[in-house]
Amino acid sequence: MTNVTEPVRRRRLLATVGASLTVATAGCEGFPEPGGPWRQLTFGTIQVEEGENGWVVSFTLRKQHQGPEDLKAFHDVRVHGYGRDRTEVCSKRIGTIEDEYPGGSGLPVEMECLAFPTMLTYSAAESPCDENITTTLSVAVYDEEDGWLVVEGRDCGEGLPPEPRDPGGE
């Protein structure tokens, strides 16, 4: 019999450790104060369907921020899709994202990929290395059992493609 609660416990533990690290580093040079400014690009529901020339990926881009107005925008935003072998199979330029969308619905995005993408992420002029604000560029991975999961953001200095992510949080 498979213990289905074990992965949930691991995820909860990782979330607790992550929250503790955030509190422990708050106030240190290069880390914003707790409740300080932050901005995030993440994914809403992701759908991938086979098309005539490959795969069609559709999702909602979700942008959120807390803090000064001059830090709310993301510039030169692009979404990237990577195959299982970590090669880029699609990319789409989105541009500047300033606004949050009514009702939190997000900006609908559709792009064509040459092969089935197993990882999606954003790039922007803003980065996780930005000082005085927490910047998150989310990573979504495809898991054959669970479908698309937004697992975490890229680390400071982590280029493209992102390092492989474990969708189970292990």
Q: Who contacts 136 (Cβ-Cβ below 8 Å, separation ≥6)?
A: 38, 39, 40, 41, 42, 128, 153
Q: Residue 71: what pLDDT?
A: 84
Q: Return the pLDDT at 98.
A: 83
Q: How many Cβ atoms from other residues are within 10 Å of residue 71's Cβ?
A: 16
Phi, psi dihedrals of residue 42, rounded to the nearest 5°: -140, -175
- The model's pTM is 0.76
CATH class of this structure's domain 36-153:
mainly beta
Q: Over 60: is that where the pLDDT of 9 sits?
A: no
